[in-house]
Amino acid sequence: MAGAQGPTLPATAEEMEMDIELSRRGWGPSFEFAFDSERFSDKMLRIEIVSSGEVAGGSLPEPACHRQEKGTPVLRVKTIHINSAILSVRSPFFLKLFSNGMKESDQTHPTLRIADSEENALMEILSFMYSGKLTTTEPTLLLNILMAADKYEVLSCVSYCSQLLTRLPMTTESALLYLKHSCSISVPVEVERLVVAAKEFLAFKYEDVLEFKGELKNFPLAGIEAIFSSTGLHVRTEDDIYDFMLSWARARYPDLEERRKILSSSLLPLVRFSHMSRNGLQKVLLCTDDDIDHDQVNKCISEVLLHKAYPSHLYGDRAVDATTWQLEERDYLFKPVKLVAFDGPCPQVIAY
């Protein structure tokens, strides 16, 4: 390898910056010249591609002979020359594949079985482990590569994809896409930043809930949670938030048990009951609908009102942390009228 050509120069300043970042992380020299090269390889990787519906989603890929789907019909087979040393350094998954005593570790033709939806992502990852570069900047494809890199434990590729995605213009579609997926391994800081950026983008874009009420009805749960966790929402009253949660859940989850679970675990905790109107709270407390966990709601209302009425009697930091954000006031259009009555010197009322 000593006489081979060196790494190619980046085409843009952004690529150069990324290459510098990879070098800082200890990426080392590029072996792009050795990718799929018989001369610089010691094994031939056999990739068996099956239908996406035949492979259990979310599980870590395994060698084909160890998978339960061994009898699953193979759509096609792809082979690629690989250097086991390079792949082992870049990925703990491939290190285990080549050195842990598996049958494949002693073979010159180890086999992986993957879903057809993962084929392009896997090829990008294999190339990345040699060169430290990808061939796409399209958000959906980058996210697919990121998820596959997570499964194959190529942390450097996870970080690289996250950085690229963070630099791309955020859209509603891409933000919802980022929130939909999650990594199974220790999430790099870049992935966390990407998720936070997606949540902030949605909360800012849809802060005027009244204007986007129709569009929000089609949002997935992750998007609704991101938006309605924000304190900066423009709404008439907190009553509207509660009403929207109920109508959204009833439209999206027709099954009663599922809807009840979603409301209890994800949606109602986002409602800031301490800022609901008297009539709104009364409606909630008198509600007899089966999709509401009334014990949970009554307890939540009692706690936030007690904390609001007697802030000096909060018991312990944990109780404060659990309820403080629920006491924060959003940007309400209608402010509740507060009356203070005085007995003397003559009957009078001051309205705030």
For residue 225 the two structure tokens come to 């949670």
Query: Is 281 domain-assigned?
Result: yes
Same domain, 312 and 189: no
Tell me, yes or no, if the pTM score tops 0.95: no
What is the rounded average pLDDT of the residues 156-185? 86
Please determine, for residue 318, whether its predicted confidence score (pLDDT) is greater than 90: no
What was the pLDDT predicted at 111? Answer: 87
Same domain, 18 and 144: yes
Same domain, 171 and 248: no
For residue 1 the two structure tokens come to 């390898």
What was the pLDDT predicted at 15? Answer: 55
Average pLDDT, the chain: 79
Show which of 141, 174, 202 is a domain's final residue: 202
For residue 284 the two structure tokens come to 């909630």
- Is the Cβ–Cβ distance between 48 and 77 less than 8 Å? yes
Query: Is 345 domain-assigned?
Result: no
Q: For residue range 12-65, list pLDDT tens digits in order.
A: 545 545 554 554 455 567 888 888 888 988 899 999 999 876 554 434 455 544
CATH number at residue 161: 3.30.710.10
Q: For residue range 89-130, list pLDDT tens digits in order.
A: 899 999 888 875 444 445 677 888 999 989 999 999 999 999
Pairwise CA distance, residues 296 & 125, whole Å: 47
Q: For residue range 36-49, list pLDDT tens digits in order.
A: 888 988 899 999 99
Which 8-state DSSP code applies to residue 168? S
Query: Is 175 domain-assigned?
Result: yes
Query: Is 325 domain-assigned?
Result: yes
Pick from 174, 63, 60, 81: which is nearest to 123 by CA?
Answer: 81
Query: Is 297 domain-assigned?
Result: yes
For the chain, how many structural domains are there in total? 2
Same domain, 251 and 305: yes
Query: Is 337 domain-assigned?
Result: no
For residue 248 the two structure tokens come to 């959204």
Show which of 202, 221, 249 is a domain's final residue: 202
Same domain, 289 and 196: no
Show which of 179, 202, 225 is a domain's final residue: 202
Partners of 208 in beta bridges: 234
Same domain, 183 and 235: no
Query: Is 174 domain-assigned?
Result: yes
Same domain, 125 and 257: no
What is the 3-state composition of the chain as percent helix, strand, coil, each rounded to the nearest 5?
55, 10, 35
Q: What is the extent of the structural domain holding 288?
A: 206-332
- Is the Cβ–Cβ distance between 88 and 99 less than 8 Å? yes
CA geometry: angle at 198 spanning 196 and 199, to 5°? Answer: 65
Query: Is 111 domain-assigned?
Result: yes
3-state DSSP assignment of residue 304: helix
- The pLDDT confidence band at residue 6, using thresholds 50, 70 and 90, is very low
Same domain, 224 and 308: yes
Pairwise CA distance, residues 124 & 93, whole Å: 16
Same domain, 98 and 164: yes
Q: Give the amino acid at 139.
A: P
What was the pLDDT predicted at 175? Answer: 93
Q: 139-151 and 172-180 helices cross at what angle (nearest 10)? A: 10
Same domain, 59 and 192: yes
Higher pLDDT, 312 or 136: 136
Same domain, 146 and 219: no
For residue 133 the two structure tokens come to 């570069």
Same domain, 309 and 262: yes
Residues in CB range of 252: below 8 A, 6 or more apart? 221, 259, 262
SS3 for 213-279 is: HHHHCCCCHHHHHHHHCCCCCEECCHHHHHHHHHHHHHHHCCCHHHHHHHHHHHHHHHCCHHHCCHH
Which 8-state DSSP code applies to residue 9? P
